[in-house]
Structure 1
């Protein structure tokens, strides 16, 4: 049994070293195995919470909270991401006369969403510290019931504010319970993890990310078969929104060194899927196609953005 356990730890460490390719495998599996994608789709909420548990367990309470200055900075950045950016985008869209388009709806909901649960894992895979991304994830989710309400009142076409508020509170409760359990178990069982144990946890979270994306791609395969040009248009839009925002944010915070990486990743990669449970507008075909396309730049972030993010470590 000890030999088997050691072999498993070594295998997970190998997965961690090549984690970005595991994400590509998940994307390809989501497109190539539609039956598996549909089978995983009902379990996406549970899988996301498993990923969050693994992430919180890997980081631990002490590293997650950081100092008071870290929390203040993260709070201010979360408000910029989830309040200033969507309102700025709404103003520009209205001035341009594009506020009623499907692309405008997708963009506004993307900017209003908190960072994606896998943000800390994406930071690890791109060579950045996961702790700033984790703080932004927790604070952004905690702020969501407050930050999403003004936007829904200003743009009632996005959906019912009360339903979104209730859904955000439920999400917040699930996340805090999951994180508390992970922190407690980490403190009792692995207070000072070795480098091998940390690498094994990174490999396990990479596998979880790959499994989750299979389910998230379930809506994209039928659309690709029916209208590939439409999907290509939405993919171009998703790439521009996600990678463009990552690049801009990284350039703004480049002077912060490696900490610019998680800030940029969380700016472009948002948990848009959470609005599926609250806003009817997200149930239409156009939004579901966007959601599927949005997973592609998200899961390709460790490869597409790695050359740019590598400059932070040399700065």
Structure 2
């Protein structure tokens, strides 16, 4: 019974994720109750993602350092510069010369979302390159994002390398050890049979995460509806724009890689910034990072039909 439930969750993953983000928004007590489970949920999520990863394929990507370096340079350097150029070009006419424009540029400096491998698998793309880019971009973002934000916007992100390393040890190191133990105990054949159930469990964990990150957003929506709705529209535009321009730029590397890179580029890890940025950061910028969860959670539901046609 449990196995069938989890397999059903995997089949309906995009729909469940889309529902969860709105449920978290419209049910504030539920969002508040689940706020404190976000960190352990992410750790367990990474454990299950690592159970589904083909490590041979991961190693094959790591043996192509030029390709990986080019992908990371595009994600962490080129995308923020492109976002800044757009904000500068249309800022005065669209109102992007204020905190929303700054927040969009900072969003583009972010690392790929931790859930990217799971989302890539949900829409039929390459989960292994998504894992490589997600982990390596998270390691590099403390060295790329602060100078870009300071040089382009005059904003001090104050990302602590020590805090980020500690977070990575909890969110990646521990899940890696646990997943290796489970792989050894279960064996490859049993893991293969459990594959769809594990995918379903991943979906349910991301659903819990979606509830928790919406804590307080409804109150902001009621207090500042124009700003919040504008922020949501900008988050969708930024996500779609980064996705499209990345897929086009990397098309010469192959359609599958380009589409996976586009998904990575459009879905950035704003939860990391929310966790490590100081309280003195502009509250409107922090609110925009929370609003970026809408395109993140809706992307599998909205993009899967498109990827089916062109992947």
Please show how residues 9-158 of structure 1 align to structure 2 within 5 Å.
9-90=3-84, 93=87, 101-155=98-152, 157-158=154-155
Alpha-carbon distance, 1:302 to partner: 1.2
Contact 2:213 2:290 in 1 (8 A): yes
2:160 aligned to 158, 164, 167, which one? 164
TM-score by length of 1: 0.86
Residues 59-101 of structure 1, C-alpha deviations (whole Å, 9 max, x = no match) = 1533333344445422321122112322343456457677862
Change (3 A) 1:156 1:230: closer
Contact 1:261 1:312 in 2 (8 A): no
Residues 126-183 of structure 1, C-alpha deviations (whole Å, 9 max, x = no match) = 111211111111111121222224224425742253x433333333333441343144
Change (3 A) 1:170 1:83: farther
Q: Distance in 1 between matches of 2:60 and 2:13?
A: 26
Between 290-299 and 163-172, the greater mean CA deviation after superposition: 163-172
Report the equivalent of 1:3: none
Structure 2 unaligned spans of 5+: none
Three-state SS of the structure 1 residue aligned to 2:45 is helix
Please show how residues 173-188 of structure 1 align to structure 2 within 5 Å.
173-188=169-184
Count of paired positions: 306
Three-state SS of the structure 2 residue aligned to 1:159 is coil
Structure 1 unaligned spans of 5+: 1-6
1:217 aligned to 214, 217, 221, which one? 214
Change (3 A) 1:110 1:190: farther
Change (3 A) 1:153 1:289: closer
